[in-house]
Amino acid sequence: EDKVVQSPLSLVVHEGDTVTLNCSYEVTNFRSLLWYKQEKKAPTFLFMLTSSGIEKKSGRLSSILDKKELFSILNITATQTGDSAVYLCAVETSGSRLTFGEGTQLTVNP
Amino acid sequence: DADVTQTPRNRITKTGKRIMLECSQTKGHDRMYWYRQDPGLGLRLIYYSFDVKDINKGEISDGYSVSRQAQAKFSLSLESAIPNQTALYFCATSPEPRKTGYNQPQHFGDGTRLSIL
């Protein structure tokens, strides 16, 4: 059975802090790992990672994948209150099926 | 206008009722998916469809059925709703990788919040 585990499940920080969110996985037929941000509604896409060691970056957010150790991290630097959300990690396997982790609830206080 | 539209946005109903949740998309994607989200469990795949004639069960298909009426429409039915089907339901779409030449992420609708009493 495919499994994706995120940690921590909940995190509270102050504006300006840097946070690291973790995602580990055990799946068969790995194709890619994705990060989504979920505020009140639909999960919105952040990153898709397919190769180990190549950092993807978008503004203050960055992510990297380690296919040998089967994990990924999502970093957010200089956090803002607008970063408060649930961050979801998902692994795509053959047939374009996504297996999601439980999510990390990030709260950024002013 | 939203690319992936789910109706209704909210629904409260009683145990034993038949319910249909609808999803339509204007993205022209071939692939469509239904997920449910429960607190502490993330999103779990119910059914998915790669084209109008292709329907596949996901991780938790028991108690649900689907219909792919057209490329743009994919509906989810609960034949006889039960309280543990109370959840937030999401529809998602993605293009066929062979058409784009590479994998693209799934794109989600805003969800239907379903409560079964």
Interface check for B101 against chain A (CB to CB < 8 A): the answer is no
Beta bridge partners of B33: B48, B92
Q: Which residue of B has its CA nearest to A42?
A: B110
Q: What confidence tier does A94 reach under pLDDT thresholds 50, 70, 90?
A: confident
DSSP state of A83: G
Residue of B23, B45, B108 to mutate, testing the A interface (most A Cβ within 10 Å of its Cβ): B108
Give the contacts of A51 (CB within 8 A, at least 6 positions apart). A65, A67
Give the contacts of A86 (CB within 8 A, at least 6 positions apart). A37, A38, A39, A103, A104, A105, A106
The mean of the pLDDT values for chain B is 92
Q: What confidence tier does B1 reach under pLDDT thresholds 50, 70, 90?
A: low
Spell B60-94 as b/e; 16+ CB within 10 A means b.
ebeebebebeebbebbbebeebeeebbbbbbbbbb
Q: What confidence tier does A96 reach under pLDDT thresholds 50, 70, 90?
A: confident
Beta bridge partners of A90: A34, A100
Q: Taking the CA atoms of chain B, what radius of gyration do you get in angstroms?
A: 14
Dig out the tokens for B80 from the structure: 């006889």
